């Protein structure tokens, strides 16, 4: 009786997985997305609120205006088809020395003050924000979580299959295995494929906003050079092998015309004048 109930649970979960199914990423990669955008947005917003409780926000007005100026210029260039209007994005500058930044579904952007020392001009900061926003647009958080949910579904099925008789303990184990995905998704490292996709989209966004795409190469070079005992925290969730830097460098040719068009059209961000000294 119990066993039948769990089999049914696994079947229903399996069917809902198939129903949600496959999607195509912005660069044309097939990807499995098991969670609705509404679910992801709710999770992103919730995680952001938790971070705001844990980490103090930077209070210096000039620093906040500087980072906001760069973020505004980037989100203005997000194509409307992604469902994010420029005013829907929320930015918080966290007062923390870690070289870190992130963006979450639901339009949340976090930049640590430690990052401002590494990305030390508006173009480099734009490359970081553009990259993070691109992970959100390409739904990489959803893709990472979906992979994990599949693994857990497999684990739940294995738990049931291996049990001689399904008692309440087995049932609990199976339910746990099925339901635990949510809390891990946001902190997992991105895959190489996700990194290169975010690099591509991010460098395009920054160029369209009028930031120099060559500075993305400089920034990631600096980031990977500062390894040693205290590598930038950003690298723990965004692996940056030299292949990525080569790719960014190769894409400069492609995005320079976009940058020049943006400048000619009057998109010339001047956030540096707000930079704290």
Task: Give the interface with Zn ion as residue ranges (CB under 5 A).
Answer: 190, 195, 198, 238
Q: Dihedrals φ, ψ of 31, to 5°? A: -145, 145
Token pair belonging to 5 = 């109930």
- Are 23 and 139 a contacting pair, CB within 8 Å? yes
Nearer to Zn ion by Cβ, of 83 and 189: the residue is 189
The least distance separating Zn ion from the CB of residue 194, rounded to whole angstroms, comes to 7
Closest CB to Zn ion among residues 178, 207: 207
CB of 134 to Zn ion, least distance (A): 8
Smallest distance, Zn ion to C-beta of residue 243, A: 14
Residues with Cβ within 8 Å of residue 148, at least 6 apart in sequence: 181, 184, 185, 188
**What span, in angstroms and rounded, lies between the C-alpha atoms of 77 and 130?**
10
- Which phi and psi (to 5°) does residue 23 adopt? -135, 170
Residue nearest to Zn ion (CB): 238
Helix axes 140-162, 168-179, angle to 10 degrees: 160
CB 209 within 8 A of CB 269: yes
**CB closer to Zn ion out of 102 and 211:** 102
Residue 136 zone, left/alpha/beta (φ > 0; ψ -120 to 50; rest): alpha
CB of 107 to Zn ion, least distance (A): 17
SS3 20: helix
Of the two residues 139 and 170, which places its CB atom closer to Zn ion in the complex? 139
Residues with a catalytic annotation lie at: 132
């Amino acid at each position: 009786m119990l066993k039948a109930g769990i089999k049914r649970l696994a079947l229903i979960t399996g069917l809902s997985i198939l129903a949600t199914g496959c999607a195509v990423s912005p660069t044309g990669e097939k990807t499995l997305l098991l969670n609705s955008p509404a679910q992801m947005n709710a999770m992103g917003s919730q995680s952001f609120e938790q971070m705001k409780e844990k980490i103090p926000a930077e209070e210096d007005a000039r620093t906040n205006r500087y980072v906001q100026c760069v973020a505004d210029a980037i989100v203005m260039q997000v194509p409307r088809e992604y469902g994010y209007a420029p005013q829907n994005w929320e930015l918080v500058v966290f007062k923390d020395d870690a070289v870190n930044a992130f963006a979450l579904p639901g339009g949340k952007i976090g930049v640590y003050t430690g990052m401002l020392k590494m990305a030390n001009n508006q173009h480099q900061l734009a490359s970081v924000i553009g990259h993070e926003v691109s992970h959100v647009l390409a739904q990489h958080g959803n893709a990472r979580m979906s992979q994990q949910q599949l693994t857990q579904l497999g684990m739940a099925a294995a738990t049931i299959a291996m049990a001689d008789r399904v008692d309440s303990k087995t049932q609990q184990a199976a339910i746990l295995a099925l339901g635990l995905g949510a809390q891990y998704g946001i902190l997992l490292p991105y895959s190489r494929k996700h990194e290169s996709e975010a690099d591509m989209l991010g460098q395009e966004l920054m160029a369209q906003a009028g930031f120099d795409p060559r500075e993305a190469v400089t920034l990631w070079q600096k980031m990977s050079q500062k390894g040693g005992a205290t590598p930038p925290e950003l690298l723990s969730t965004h692996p940056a092998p030299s292949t990525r830097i080569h790719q960014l460098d190769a894409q400069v040719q492609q995005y320079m015309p976009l940058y020049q068009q943006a400048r000619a059209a009057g998109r010339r961000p001047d956030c540096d004048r707000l930079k704290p000294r």
